[in-house]
A and B are shown apart, each in its own frame.
Chain A
Amino acid sequence: MKSLKIAGMAALVALAGTTGALAQAKGLDAIKARGTLLCGTSPGVPGFAQPDDKGNWVGLDVDYCRALAVAIFNDPMKVTFKPLTSKERFTALQSGEVDLLSRTTTWTMSRDSSMGMSFAGVTLYDGQGFMVKKSLGVKAAKELNGASVCVQTGTTTELNLADFFRTNKITYKPVVFEKADETVAAFDSGRCDAYTNDRSGLAAERTKLKKPDDAVVLPDIISKEPLGPVVRQGDSQFFTLAKWVYFALLNLEEAGVTQANVDEMAKSANPDIKRLLGSEGEFGKGIGVANDWAYQIAKKVGNYGEIYDRHFGPKTPINIERGQNKLWTQGGLQYAPPIR
């Protein structure tokens, strides 16, 4: 059935020219005319994208799409979320089924160069790791010789896994699943010794286990996983907008603008903040949106740090140390070009 869906989307790619279904040519104007942003996201990964008890999507990936919707429509609710499996996502983006992917997608060279996509930034610096049951007594990934490893299909994870074991000259048996829920269930029931995924994903999936405290994420990081939003190649206006919405989230945090103090900050005399919040210059025009776009993002979604804390902070069950995802001013990797 899944393959049928992909086949359908592949057919869409094929037919696009004749039917005009490809929104790409019209870009931002088409999105504005449609009145809603089509955001491809994960089908339920805590912290990244998951419907809450009221059916609203919440998560880091979700908030990025909401910020983009605020920039375009001045309304964080004008987003239609399309949950996609790892396998479906690229075909969905290529065929115009969604405007962008904000779906824990790793930025790699082959994806950037030969798959018709462009990465707009890195909303989360991550790395692949392993989760094991504490009862196994494993302390490091290299001790996993001969282990069965549960993994989700259609991800860079599968390749990193093969590389890691090959480099260390140890063996493993992959058990490859289509969806995260089945992968977690199989790991929980002991089908696999280890579960591999991006470490943030592991921390999130760990909360889904029957007894989360029985499992532990190993300290090893076996790959670089820069996760970020992706748009179709060839639409430079939308690509620029997507990039600058991400930069705005970082610049807001750097300038100390939060959801709570944004109105106060708007009165600031600091020219950096004036340009950022739209009271000086016409930066919104250049990316095809209203001039107070960043002000509205701060007010309706918050800055990057607030978004991170909301979904991964110490008060959440996931609770991941911010580490590399701190701003460059605090020793992290998150850095945005200035608005000027």
Chain B
Amino acid sequence: MAVTSSERTGDDASKASLLYRPEVRQIIYQVVLALALVMFFYTIVTNAAENMRRLNIASGLGFWNRTSGFDVGQHLIPYSATSTYGDAFWVGMLNTLLVAAIGIVLATIIGFLVGVGRLSSNWLVARLSTVYVELLRNMPLLLQLFFWYFAVLKVLPQARQAIVLPGGSFLSNRGLNLPSPVAEPGLGIVGIALLVGIALSIAVGMWAKRRRLLTGQPFPVLWSTVGLAMLMPLVVALILGRPMSFDYPIKGTFNFTGGIVVTPEFLALLFGLSLYTASFIAEIVRAGILAVSKGQKEAAAALGLQPSQALRLVVVPQAMRIVIPPLTSQYLNLTKNSSLGLAIAYPELVSVTGTMLNQTGQAVEIILMVMGVYLTLSLLTSAFMNWFNSRVALVER
């Protein structure tokens, strides 16, 4: 029976019309699917346009160049109520980028320390690291942000009783007021000295690496870098008579004027995001280190490397291969989670565009733009991390 039926199928297939050919069918299915998708999105777009027209809701991007009329508390580019909605959008995006960029660096440092700490042979360090991870990754981030924000506000004194810090800085519940540097003539030469120092340090580093590979002789790269990239520009600056002055914050009636201010909203969001994400990064790092086989550490010890050298030169480079892909996800999470800043008055993208949305009433356009920004940021981050991953991936020899 089985034989006959299969013979018949084969027989039919050869005689059958084009429609019954598997490869033709495949194409037809795909064309139908593509058409359905196009129809679906076309319907959504035309429907939205039609509905908005019928409801007399303004549409289009005409608002972009209109005067915004509202102020934003923290702006990295010049901005005031007379600027445009477009400017407000960039202000919000830069604020998001600022907290995300610093947060990623901070979360990575804390995460690596805690992750390594959990594997420490020191009982107290290992337990404290465990408590840190379990406490922070198991509580909702929004709650933690409220905690940090209101804790920061409660602990810090009023502006009039601000804590005076060395170097002309003040700490109060209005934030951290720091002196801001003001360039004076001659600063350009110091900048050139800095660039030259950095270039020389890189050259020395490359030379030292080649010498070590050839002769096995180590070279104190750290000290040469400090000397070239930090001390040299400093000496140049001193010779030129300190071509930079500072704008110190001065206590006004209500707030400080002058200098730069790091707002409590920014600090709370930065701490909240970094500490929360660091707890996840710690676990990723721990997993990465544990995945490196024990033999590697033993081999390093047999070669005479100290435990710290073994960790730095043998274990971590191999662990990185495992760590980087999940680390990328954490970076993306941190960037996206920064949108929770609107709950604690940090003027990031969602907060600023929320005001724009309310003033213009154009929800569809603005939400799409915000989604576009987050998508772009995420794709750029993953592209960079993928490139980095391919750099550190194990090279098979």
Chain A 17-37: CB-based contact to B (< 8 A → 1; otherwise 0)? 110001010000000000000
Are B364 and A14 interface neighbours, CB within 8 A?
A: yes
The yes or no answer to B231 lying at the interface (CB within 8 A) is: no
Are B255 and A6 interface neighbours, CB within 8 A?
A: no
Q: How far is the CB of B88 from chain A (nearest CB, A)?
A: 11
The yes or no answer to B358 lying at the interface (CB within 8 A) is: yes
List B contacts of A303 (CB < 8 A): none
Are B254 and A146 interface neighbours, CB within 8 A?
A: yes
Q: How far is the CB of B222 from chain A (nearest CB, A)?
A: 42
The yes or no answer to A3 lying at the interface (CB within 8 A) is: yes
List B contacts of A7 (CB < 8 A): 367, 371
Are A147 and B50 interface neighbours, CB within 8 A?
A: no
Chain B 368-397: CB-based contact to A (< 8 A → 1; otherwise 0)? 001100000000000000000000000000
Are B158 and A116 interface neighbours, CB within 8 A?
A: no
Chain A 128-143: CB-based contact to B (< 8 A → 1; otherwise 0)? 0000000010000000
Chain B 91-131: CB-based contact to A (< 8 A → 1; otherwise 0)? 00000000000000000000000000000000000000000
Given contacts A14-B47, A146-B252, contact A233 B56 (CB under 8 A): yes
Are A90 and B358 interface neighbours, CB within 8 A?
A: yes
List A contacts of B58 (CB < 8 A): 114-115
Are B364 and A13 interface neighbours, CB within 8 A?
A: yes
Are A174 and B72 interface neighbours, CB within 8 A?
A: yes
The yes or no answer to A2 lying at the interface (CB within 8 A) is: yes
Are B57 and A190 interface neighbours, CB within 8 A?
A: no
Which of B154, B257, B355 is in CB contact (< 8 Å) with A153? B355
Are B363 and A91 interface neighbours, CB within 8 A?
A: yes
**Cα-based distance from A86 to B174 in the complex (angstroms):** 26
List A contacts of B344 (CB < 8 A): 177, 182
The yes or no answer to A77 lying at the interface (CB within 8 A) is: no
The yes or no answer to A144 lying at the interface (CB within 8 A) is: yes
Are B71 and A161 interface neighbours, CB within 8 A?
A: yes
The yes or no answer to B81 lying at the interface (CB within 8 A) is: yes
List B contacts of A186 (CB < 8 A): 153, 345
The yes or no answer to B277 lying at the interface (CB within 8 A) is: no
List A contacts of B153 (CB < 8 A): 186, 189-191
Are B363 and A10 interface neighbours, CB within 8 A?
A: yes
Stretch at the interface among B5-13, B29-37, B346-354: B346-354
**Cα-based distance from A22 to B358 in the complex (angstroms):** 21
Q: How far is the CB of A147 from chain B (nearest CB, A)?
A: 4
Which of A16, A175, A179 is in CB contact (< 8 Å) with B47? A16
Are B69 and A159 interface neighbours, CB within 8 A?
A: yes
Q: Which of B244-260 contact A (CB under 8 A)?
A: 252-255, 257
Given contacts A116-B57, A166-B81, contact A6 B342 (CB under 8 A): no
List A contacts of B158 (CB < 8 A): 190
Which of B253, B345, B355 is in CB contact (< 8 Å) with A154? B355
Chain B's interface: helix, strand, loop or mixed, by majority?
A: helix
The yes or no answer to B233 lying at the interface (CB within 8 A) is: no
Are B367 and A115 interface neighbours, CB within 8 A?
A: no
The yes or no answer to B173 lying at the interface (CB within 8 A) is: yes
Q: How far is the CB of A205 from chain B (nearest CB, A)?
A: 16
**Cα-based distance from A162 to B70 in the complex (angstroms):** 6
Which range contains the number of A residues in contact with the other chain? 35 or more
**Cα-based distance from A153 to B344 in the complex (angstroms):** 12
Are B81 and A87 interface neighbours, CB within 8 A?
A: no
Which of B44, B73, B142 is in CB contact (< 8 Å) with A15? B44
The yes or no answer to A155 lying at the interface (CB within 8 A) is: yes
List A contacts of B255 (CB < 8 A): 146-148, 173, 193
Q: How far is the CB of A254 from chain B (nearest CB, A)?
A: 34
**Cα-based distance from A3 to B347 in the complex (angstroms):** 14
Which of B57, B72, B174, B343 is in CB contact (< 8 Å) with A191? B174
List A contacts of B342 (CB < 8 A): 2, 153, 178
Q: How far is the CB of A165 from chain B (nearest CB, A)?
A: 8
List B contacts of A94 (CB < 8 A): 55, 57, 361, 363
Are A178 and B358 interface neighbours, CB within 8 A?
A: no
Are A163 and B55 interface neighbours, CB within 8 A?
A: no
The yes or no answer to B54 lying at the interface (CB within 8 A) is: yes
The yes or no answer to B43 lying at the interface (CB within 8 A) is: yes
Are A163 and B81 interface neighbours, CB within 8 A?
A: yes
**Cα-based distance from A290 to B255 in the complex (angstroms):** 60
List B contacts of A174 (CB < 8 A): 70-73
**Cα-based distance from A218 to B73 in the complex (angstroms):** 23
**Cα-based distance from A166 to B150 in the complex (angstroms):** 30
Are B150 and A87 interface neighbours, CB within 8 A?
A: no
Are A17 and B51 interface neighbours, CB within 8 A?
A: yes
Q: Which of A161-217 contact B (CB under 8 A)?
A: 161-163, 165-166, 172-179, 182, 185-186, 189-191, 193
Are A175 and B70 interface neighbours, CB within 8 A?
A: no
Are A14 and B359 interface neighbours, CB within 8 A?
A: no
The yes or no answer to B264 lying at the interface (CB within 8 A) is: yes
**Cα-based distance from A158 to B71 in the complex (angstroms):** 8
Q: How far is the CB of B360 from chain A (nearest CB, A)?
A: 8
List B contacts of A15 (CB < 8 A): 44, 47-48
**Cα-based distance from A113 to B55 in the complex (angstroms):** 11
List B contacts of A87 (CB < 8 A): 354, 357-358
Are B48 and A191 interface neighbours, CB within 8 A?
A: no
Which of A86, A177, A234 counts the most chain B CB atoms within 10 A?
A177
List B contacts of A136 (CB < 8 A): 254
List A contacts of B43 (CB < 8 A): 18
List A contacts of B363 (CB < 8 A): 6, 9-10, 13, 90-91, 94
- A113: nearest chain-B partner, CB-CB: B56
Are A3 and B339 interface neighbours, CB within 8 A?
A: yes
Given contacts A17-B51, A154-B358, A159-B70, contact A3 B370 (CB under 8 A): yes
Interface residues of B (CB under 8 A from A): 43-45, 47-48, 50-52, 54-58, 69-73, 81-82, 142, 146, 150, 153-154, 158, 173-174, 252-255, 257, 264-265, 339, 342-345, 347, 350-351, 354-355, 357-359, 361, 363-364, 367, 370-371
Nearest first, the 3 closest Cβ-Cβ pairs linking A and B are A115-B361, A116-B55, A14-B48
Given contacts A154-B357, A182-B345, 14 further A-B contacts (CB under 8 A): A3-B350, A10-B363, A14-B45, A24-B55, A86-B358, A94-B361, A136-B254, A145-B254, A148-B174, A153-B351, A174-B72, A178-B342, A189-B154, A191-B174
Query: Could you give 16 example pairs across A and B, Cβ below 8 Å?
Result: A3-B350, A10-B367, A14-B45, A18-B43, A86-B358, A90-B363, A116-B57, A116-B361, A144-B254, A147-B253, A147-B254, A153-B351, A154-B355, A162-B70, A172-B71, A234-B55
Interface residues of A (CB under 8 A from B): 1-3, 6-7, 9-10, 13-18, 22, 24, 86-87, 90-91, 94, 110-111, 113-116, 136, 144-148, 150, 153-155, 158-159, 161-163, 165-166, 172-179, 182, 185-186, 189-191, 193, 232-234
